[in-house]
Structure 1
Amino acid sequence: NNITYIKKMLCAFAKVEGLNLNNNQISWTIEDTNGVFQGLGDLVKFHLSGNKIKSISADAFVGLKNVTYLNLGNNNITSIQNNAFSEVPLLKDLIINTTSLLCDCNLRWFVDWLNLKQLKLQAAICSYPDGLRGQSVVEVTKNLTCDELPKLRLIEEPDPEIMALKGENITLNCKAISSSPGAMTFLWKKDNIELLNPNVIVKSRTDPDGKSTETSSVLNLIHVEHSHAGKYQCVVSNSFGTTYSQKSAISVLVYPTFIKMPKNVTVRAGETVKLECAANGEPTPEIAWHKDGGNDFPAARERRMQVMPHDDVFFIVNAKPIDMGVYSCTAHNPAGIVVANASLTVQEKPSFIKAMEDKEFAAGEDMVLPCLAKGLPKPTITWLKDGETIVRTERHFFIHEDQLLIIVDSVKTDSGVYECHLNNSLGEKVGQSRIIVKQTTYDTSNMMGIIIITVVCCAVLTSIIWVVIIYQTRKRMSPPVIQTEMQELPDMTETTRAHQLQLHLCPDNISDHSSSKDSGTGDSAKRSNDDLGPEEFTMIINGDVAMEMNNSHVPLLLYPRSTNHDRFVSVEVSASETPPKDV
C-alpha cells in the first residue's frame, strides 16, 4: 500500500480489533493530526511499522482506549510529545526501535511513563546530545537536559487565515531556527498533501557566533484561482526531527455576480408579485432584499410576503398600492457587494375615497362639491351637470386636481344632478350628487329699497328725538308766569282804580314813563305800543274775571323791554273803562 494521509476512520471500522497499516507513508497522520483513530473503539492491536514517522504528537492515539499492542518499529523516531500515550491506558506491548532519539529534558516524561507501566523497549537509542549518543533512553534519565536546542523551532509561521481576490498574488512565509549545524528541509502541504514543484524561495544564514542556524522558506502563489483555496502548512525537518507550522486557510474570493436579476414588475391590485435574484461568487454570496433603501416591508407586516431561505424567488401575495416602490437585491460576500434594483408598480381601478352626497344650498351661497378619487394610473376627472360637461367660468372653478368643484354666488339654476367621471386604463367609475339651490325670502334686488327705508326711518326718528330735546330745553329756560290775584279795591273813582291797577300790574311801565320824562325824551319810545288797533280783547285774570276792552288810547298789551331786571308782561286798562265787577 501507499497510503499517505488518513482524514478520519469510518464508522464501518468501529468493530475492528486488529489494524495493520505497516509500510505506508502516513507519518503526517501521526505527527500532525488530532483524533484520526477515534472511530476504532474496539481496536486491540495496531501496526504502524515502516511509515517514516519521525515524531509522535500528543493527540495521535486519541480514542484507542482498548489497544494493548502498538507496533511503531522501523520508524526513525526522534521525538515523542508529552503524554503521547496517555490515551492508550491498556497498552502493554510497545515496540519502538530507533537510534535517532533526541534525549533532552522534553523526553523525561517518557522515561517516567515506561517505568510506571513497566514496559521494556527493544531499542530506543539516543542520538543527541553527543554525550548520550548510543545510549538507551532508559539509562540516561539523570542526564536529560535542555542546554542546547538542536531540534527545530519555528520563529515565523504563515498567517492562520488569508483572503485574496481571484487573480491576486499570495506569499506564505515560514522560518525556523536550530542549534544543529545540519541542513534543514522545507516542504509545503496543501490540505495535508505535499505540493509538487512549488514556487519556493529558501534562504539560510548562520549566526556570527556559529551557535544557531536560521532558515526561511517563502511560498509564492501567483494569480490565484479558486483551485488555490485550501489549508497550507509548512513542514521543516532536520536530523533531529520534524516541526509543523500552524495551518493557513487561504480563501480565494470571487466578487459576486448576478445570474438572476430582478426586473421591473407591473401588476394589478390583488395579484401576486414575483421577484427573482441569484448570484455567484466565492464564498457563496448572501442574498438580502430591501425596499426603498430600508427594511420596512408593508407586505411583511401584513404577512403577505414569502421568501424561501434557499430559493431565488421573492413573493408578495395580494399586492396593494402600499407595496409599490424600489426593491433592491443585495449579494454580499467577503470580496464585496453588488446591488440590483427593480421597481414594483401596482395598478388599481379608479374609485372614490368618499362617496358623493346630495346637498342643499341657499341661493347666493358658495357651493363646494368634492370628488375625492384614487387609482393607478392616476384617473382623469370630468364633471357634468345634467349630462353636460361643466367648463370653467367666472363662477365655476376646479381645484385640487379637479377633485373639488366650486361654484360661487349660487343661483337657483345651479340646481341639478352633478356627475364626476373617473377614468384610467383599468376602467371607469361614476359618482353623482343631486344639488338643490333654495330661493331665500328676499333677494338682492330688494336690498336697495330695504336700505333706503331703513335710512329714512332712522332720519325721522332722529328728528323726533331732537324736537323733544329742544322742546324740553326751551321749557326749562322760559320765565315763570306771575299769576296776579285781583284784590278788592276800595271805593274810588274809576280813574284812580285804573291807575292803581296799572301800578299793580306794570310797575316797570310807570317807571319808564317817569324816566322818559326826566330824560327829556318824553314817551316817544313808548308810542309804538299805542299803534295797536282799537279792537276789543278779553283778558282773564286768575281764570275768574274777564274784562272787555274797547277802543282807547291806552294800550291793551304792553311788550316788555330788555332790562337788567327780569322780564314781565304788563297789562294796562283804560281809565275811561269801567272795571269789571267782582274783581
Structure 2
Amino acid sequence: SKFTETYLIMYLFLLTGGAAYQPEFAEPIANLSVPLGRDATFRCLVHHLGGYRVGWVKADTKAIQAIHDHVITHNPRVSVSHNDHTTWNLHIRNVQEEDRGQYMCQINTDPMKSQVGFLDVSVPPDFVPEETSGDVMVPEGGTVKLTCRARGHPEPHVQWRREDGQDIVIKEPSGQKVGGCRIQEFNMARFNISITNCILEYLEDRIHPRKEGEAVSKVGYVVFCGVDRGVENSHK
C-alpha cells in the first residue's frame, strides 16, 4: 500500500541518515605552552560521535594515554573527562619536560580520524653550577678561562658583561670588537646569543675574588655571566 511504501522510505531514510552523520571534529586542537609544574588540558570537540569512541595517544612515542573513559597510561598525572559526548578532555597535572610533544585525539572510525595538538613545556633559565666558573685568582698578565653554562627551554641566551656596564674588549679579530680580554666564541652568529663557553684573557691589573655568583673581577670590576630569553626576562 502507499502507506507501507511511505513508511519503508522513511525507515530507510532514518537508517541511511544515521549512517550519513559520521563523527567529525568541530575545531582543531589548540597547541599548549605551559610552564614546568603547571597543569595542561587538551580539548577535543567531536560532533555526531554516536557509538564510536575517542582515544588519546602521545603521537611522538605512540603511547596510548586513554580510550574513552579509561586511562591506559601508567602516568598517574594523566586523567580524562568529557561533557555530553562532545567535549573530550585530556588532563596532565604538574607537567614535566618529558610530557613535551604531540598529543593525538582519535575517533575509531574506518578509516580512523585524528587530529594533533602540541604541548610545549617552558623551563625558566638557570645556570648549571657544576659547569659554571666561580671566583678565580690569576697573576697580572695571566690568562683565565671562565665557563658559563645555562639550561632552560626555550634555550636561553648567555651574555658576558662587566659590573660597571662597560664593554668587554675583544683583543683578537676572531671575535667581535665590542670594546683587555679575548673571547673565543663557540657556534655563535653574534656575541650576545646562545653561548655557553667564553675564554677571557686579561692583560692588565689583578683579579680578586668576590661573593658567590659573581665570576671574577679586575680591580673592582666584576664580570657577570648573564642569562636571558629576551629583553623582558633577563637576569644576572
Matched, 1:199 2:79: yes
How much has 1:266 moved relative to structure 2?
4.6
Percentage identity across aligned positions?
19
Distance 1:250 1:306 in 2: 38
User: What is the aligned counterpart of 2:35 among 160, 165, 178?
Assistant: 165
1:319 counterpart residue number: 203
1:253 counterpart residue number: 122
How much has 1:289 moved relative to structure 2?
1.6
CA distances 1:486-523 after superposition (whole Å, capped 9, x unpaired)? xxxxxxxxxxxxxxxxxxxxxxxxxxxxxxxxxxxxxx
TM-score with structure 2 length normalisation?
0.61
Partner letter of residue 224 of structure 1? V
| CA distance 1:337–1:165, change in 2 (3 Å) | farther
Q: Does structure 1 retain, via aligned residues, the 8 Å contact 2:182–2:202?
A: no
User: What's the C-alpha RMSD, in Å, of the aligned pairs?
Assistant: 3.5
1:307 counterpart residue number: 184
Q: Does structure 2 retain, via aligned residues, the 8 Å contact 1:257–1:338?
A: no
Distance 1:328 1:338 in 2: 10
1:456-467 residue pairs with structure 2 within 5 A?
A: none
Q: Does structure 2 retain, via aligned residues, the 8 Å contact 1:152–1:176?
A: yes
Partner secondary structure for residue 227 of structure 1: helix
| CA distance 1:237–1:333, change in 2 (3 Å) | farther
Partner secondary structure for residue 170 of structure 2: helix
TM-score with structure 1 length normalisation?
0.27
Q: Does structure 1 retain, via aligned residues, the 8 Å contact 2:180–2:202?
A: no
1:182 counterpart residue number: 50
Distance 2:141 2:155 in 1: 35
Partner letter of residue 182 of structure 2? M
1:332 counterpart residue number: 228
Paired residue total: 181
| CA distance 1:266–1:187, change in 2 (3 Å) | same
1:12-51 residue pairs with structure 2 within 5 A?
A: none
2:3 counterpart residue number: none
Distance 1:272 1:264 in 2: 14
CA distances 1:177-206 after superposition (whole Å, capped 9, x unpaired)? 13xx7223111111251225251112226x
Distance 1:169 1:326 in 2: 40
The structure that is strand-richer by fraction is 2
1:433-448 residue pairs with structure 2 within 5 A?
A: none
Partner letter of residue 46 of structure 2? A
Distance 2:196 2:138 in 1: 20
Matched, 1:297 2:168: yes
How much has 1:232 moved relative to structure 2?
0.8
How much has 1:168 moved relative to structure 2?
0.9
User: What is the aligned counterpart of 1:221 among 64, 80, 92?
Assistant: 92
Distance 2:229 2:122 in 1: 8
Partner secondary structure for residue 175 of structure 1: strand
Q: Does structure 2 retain, via aligned residues, the 8 Å contact 1:224–1:252?
A: yes
Matched, 1:153 2:2: no
Distance 1:262 1:252 in 2: 28
Q: Does structure 2 retain, via aligned residues, the 8 Å contact 1:173–1:217?
A: yes
Distance 1:165 1:182 in 2: 36
Distance 1:220 1:330 in 2: 36
Distance 2:150 2:183 in 1: 19
1:23 counterpart residue number: none
How much has 1:338 moved relative to structure 2?
4.5
Q: Does structure 1 retain, via aligned residues, the 8 Å contact 2:168–2:181?
A: no
How much has 1:259 moved relative to structure 2?
2.1
CA distances 1:261-314 after superposition (whole Å, capped 9, x unpaired)? 443445444221322212333444332222347572223537951234268542
Partner letter of residue 56 of structure 2? W
Distance 1:243 1:326 in 2: 60
Segments of structure 2 that go 5 or more residues without pairing to the other structure are 1-11, 72-77, 172-176, 188-194, 206-216
| CA distance 1:307–1:294, change in 2 (3 Å) | farther
Distance 2:90 2:165 in 1: 46
Distance 1:318 1:331 in 2: 23
Partner secondary structure for residue 84 of structure 2: strand
Distance 1:276 1:152 in 2: 57
Distance 1:319 1:149 in 2: 81
1:259-274 residue pairs with structure 2 within 5 A?
A: 259-260=128-129, 261-274=132-145
How much has 1:152 moved relative to structure 2?
2.5
Q: Does structure 2 retain, via aligned residues, the 8 Å contact 1:256–1:282?
A: yes
Q: Does structure 2 retain, via aligned residues, the 8 Å contact 1:151–1:241?
A: no
Distance 2:167 2:202 in 1: 17
Distance 1:223 1:326 in 2: 39
How much has 1:333 moved relative to structure 2?
4.8
CA distances 1:91-113 after superposition (whole Å, capped 9, x unpaired)? xxxxxxxxxxxxxxxxxxxxxxx
Matched, 1:286 2:163: no
Distance 2:112 2:199 in 1: 59
Q: Does structure 2 retain, via aligned residues, the 8 Å contact 1:188–1:234?
A: yes
The structure that is helix-richer by fraction is 1
